[in-house]
Amino acid sequence: MTIHAFANGHIVTPGGVLPAASLDVEGGIIVALDPQIRGDAIDLDGGWIMPGFVDVQVNGGGGVLFNDAPDVDGIAAIGAAHRRYGTTAFLPTLISETPAIIGRALDAVDDAIAAGVPGVVGIHVEGPCINPARKGIHDPRRFRPLDDALLDLLTRPRRGKVMVTLAPEIVPSDRIAALVAAGVIVSLGHSDATLDEAQAGFAAGASGVTHLFNAMSPLLHRAPGLVGAALDNQAVWCGIIADGFHVDPAVLRVALRSRPHDRLMLISDAMPSVGAAEKDFLLGDVPIHVEGGRCLGPDGTLAGCDIDMAAALRGAVSMMQLSPQDASTMASANPAALLGLLAERGALAASLRADWVQLSADLQPVATTVGGDRAEPEPFFAPAPAAHVA
């Protein structure tokens, strides 16, 4: 057994924030958490120990786009890039692809989990059953209905979690129900749905909303759409991008006040630029320019994000006026709950995985511990800039 002790800081636990603590770890699992210091302690100097971040939408990182590298090596590279910033569990995310690439990606995630690639807990298939009117940066040439062949592909038994983003006005409710019955986590997004269509999607079993407000019709007082359905439904989990570009800070605060804290979660929606020396990249045949924290297509369309989860947490604290511990819940426990993984991760407590992130007093990443193994970021990979405050 190994004891990890911390002093002079803030350790976020389900029972509150402790100024010091010792975590006993054996076999990659926390076996005890003691508010007393035992052994040599790391001086946090006012910093934080938080549960490792759980990111359900990671398109890429470290110069790798999952669409381009749907294999074990690609997944490992993406995970390593984000682990430097505190992410200890993630879903590599495929941006609207062909069935052949979707199949390769699903198999690759199975292989990565079997090989013990750190952090990978499943896959997020974003599209291709989405609305062209709300395509964002997705390639409409890839869009298709959820036919029998694609349904069969998505519902085959897998080693990890399978999450699918779809538009409820494109996919019939009985098909949504079939995905859910097979254990697929359905999230609604890239949608022009009416209120009734969105509510029908939730009634069929959809339990999430992908990047709330983005790539969906806006909330209107006589046409609430998916945004209105999501804010009115207190049970579904809503992912949100807190970079200051995708959603105005005032709207972030409105969303927070409309939902229980345990149903709003931070996502990175990260692109290959996170943790990469060369920021610009190609999305298919579309050049994406990264500048000032934004990923932009040639026409100015936002193309995912150039932030990591630590930057998203800082954005939530600064723009949503949250305490760091509440922002931590949105970055760890809430996404773990959506994925059905609270029994193994998402908090610092006995019987859960020994996954945590050490942050400085100003919430910059210092080190990440996975399964009790601590690793400090390589100097080359500087943390992402603080979120833009509009």
Is 5 annotated to bind ligand?
A: no
211 is in an annotated binding site: yes
Q: Is 82 annotated as a binding residue?
A: no
The catalytic residue positions are 269
Q: What angle do CA 350, 368, 343 make, to 5 degrees?
A: 30
**Phi and psi at residue 21, to the nearest 5°:** -170, 160
Amino acid at residue number 254 = V
Q: Is 302 annotated as a binding residue?
A: yes
- Do 135 and 190 form a contact (C-beta atoms < 8 A)? yes
214 annotated to a ligand binding site: yes
Query: How many CB atoms are closer than 10 A to CB 348?
Result: 25
Q: What are phi and psi of 255, to 5 degrees?
A: -60, -45
The answer to whether the annotation marks 149 as part of a ligand binding site is no
Cα pseudo-dihedral 175, 181, 185, 191, rounded to 10: 20
| Phi-psi category of residue 334: left, alpha or beta, with phi > 0 → left and psi -120 to 50 → alpha | alpha
Q: Which residues contact 315 (CB under 8 A, 6 or more apart)?
A: 242, 243, 244, 307, 386, 387
Residues 169, 207, 154: CA angle, nearest 5 degrees: 70
CA distance 170 to 182: 20
303 is in an annotated binding site: yes
Q: Which residue type does 48 have? A: W
Binding residues for Zn(2+): 126, 190, 211
Binding site, annotated residues for substrate: 137, 214-215, 222, 246, 302-304
Residues annotated within the binding site are: 126, 137, 190, 211, 214-215, 222, 246, 302-304
